[in-house]
Structure 1
Amino acid sequence: MHSFCWYELRTTDPTAARTFYIDALGLLAAAGDARWRLASGGPELGEFAPLPAQAAARGAPAHWLGHIAVADVAIAVQRFVAAGASPLGPTQTRPDGNLVAPLRDPLGAVLAVTSRPPATATLAWCDLHTGDPARAAAIYGELFNWAPKQQHDLGPARGSYHEFAWQPDGHSVGGMSDAALRPGIHTHWLFHFAVDDLELALGRVRGGGGRVAGEPLRGPGGARVAVCEDPQGAAFALHAAT
C-alpha cells in the first residue's frame, strides 16, 4: 500500500517547533531525538528537521513534507518525473538507512517518496490543495493506486472536492480541492492532526505563538476543521471528529 508514512516538519527552528507541537497538539517526542509519535507506545510518524538551505534559497517557507511509501524509490521517481514531476535534489540516504527523494508534483505540490515501510498509524486526514483536483486524482491514482471516493460540489466559489482512499477497498483518508478558486491558497499538501477538543487545541495554538486562519469549517463526515500556522509559518490543520 502506497500511503503517507512519515511526516517531516522542515522548519527554521526545529527545537522551538518541537516544543510548540508537543504543547499545542499533544505529540509525543521519541526519546533522545527529534522524532515524534501520536500516542504513548505508538509508532514514530515523523521528525522535526531544519529547513534545507537549498529549499530556503528557493524561497521555500517552513512546511510539512509528507513521505509516501514505495517499493522502489528509483522507479517511483522515474514514473513521477515521466508524469511531469520535478526532482528537488538527489535521492538521500537517511541515517536510519531509508531512501528519501523529494519532488514537486506536476501541479506544484511538494512531497517525497521513501523506502520506509507503510505506516500502521496515520494522521486524521490529508488534503491536497491543487489547481486541478481531477487531474491530480488521476496522477496519484495512476502512480500509487489511490482510489477515488465521493466527490463534492462546493459551489462556484470553491469548486469540486475529490475524496480518495489509499486502496480501492479502503475508506477515505483525504481529499483534493481546487486551490485555483481560492485566493491566497497555494498548491500544497495540508496534513490534519486529530484533537478531541477543538476549542482547547486552538487556544493552545494561539498561546504557543501559532496563528488560526479564520473560523473552523465542516469537513468530510462532519468533522470540524481549523487551518493553522505554527510560529515558524508552517501550515497544518486541526481535525475534531464528530
Structure 2
Amino acid sequence: MTTQLGLPASVQACLFDLDGVVTKTAVVHAAAWKETFDSFLRARDGAGFRPFTDADYSRYVDGMPRADGVRTFLASRSVELPEGDPDDPPDRDTVNGLGNRKNELLLKKIRTDGVEAYDGTLRYLEAVRAAGLRTAVVSSSANTVDVLRSIDAEHLFDTRIDGVVARTRKLPGKPRPDTFLAAAHDLGVEPARAAVFEDALAGMDAGRSGHFGHVVGVDRVGQRDALYAHGADRVVKDLAELLGGAE
C-alpha cells in the first residue's frame, strides 16, 4: 500500500532523479563542473578570477541539462559564448565545448572512483515495486544507462527519460517539467497520480510546475528549507525514512 511508502493513496507511479537520489554521483558532478568552470574562468579573467562555488552549483547547474547549466552559470557572470555544436571538442570555448569538457572529466572521475548507490533508495525502490507501483528514472545525464548498469539497478525502472531520450524527443530539461511529464506518459499515469523524487532545486520546480501528485525532496546537502520553498511536499534525508507509513 502506498501509505506504507509514505505516499498519498492516489499515487500509482514513482519518478526518480538519478544523481543524488539513486546514486552518490551528485558530488562527482559538482567536482567536474568546478574543475571545468574554474579552468575556463581562470584563463579568461586572470587576476580577477572568482571560483565556481557550491552555491553556484545548486543555483545554476544542479539537475539541468549540460548546455543549460553552462549558459545559466556563465550568464550569472555576464559571460556569453557561442553555442557551437553538440559534438564540439572539449577544448573549444563554446557552450557545447564546455559541457563536453565537463562530461569528459565526469567520466574520468567515475572510471577512477566508481559509482555508489544509496542503499536506502534501493530498498525503497524494491518496496515500491513490490507494492505494484510503476517506476521511472528521469535524469538530464546522458550516462544514465551506464551508471544504472554499474550498480545493477537497470531492472528497477519500467522506463527511462534521460539526456539521450530528451535530445531525441526535443524535451526541454529541468526546471521545466517536460521530462517528468514524458515519464508519466510513458508509464500510462496522469501526473496527479505520480510522485517525483528529487534532490535538486530545479527538480522541485519541475515537480511543482508539472502539477504532480506528490513531490519528495531528498536533502543530501543541508538545503531542507530551499527544497520546501521550491515546491517539496515532504523532505527527507534518505528515502528509507518513508518506509513504514506517512509522516
The structure number with the bigger radius of gyration is 2
Does TM-score exceed 0.5, indicating one fold?
A: no
**Where is the strand percentage greater, Structure 1 or Structure 2?**
1
Normalising by structure 1, report the TM-score: 0.26
Q: Highest relative contact order (Cα 8 Å, sep 6+), 1 or 2?
A: 2
**Normalised TM-score (structure 2):** 0.26
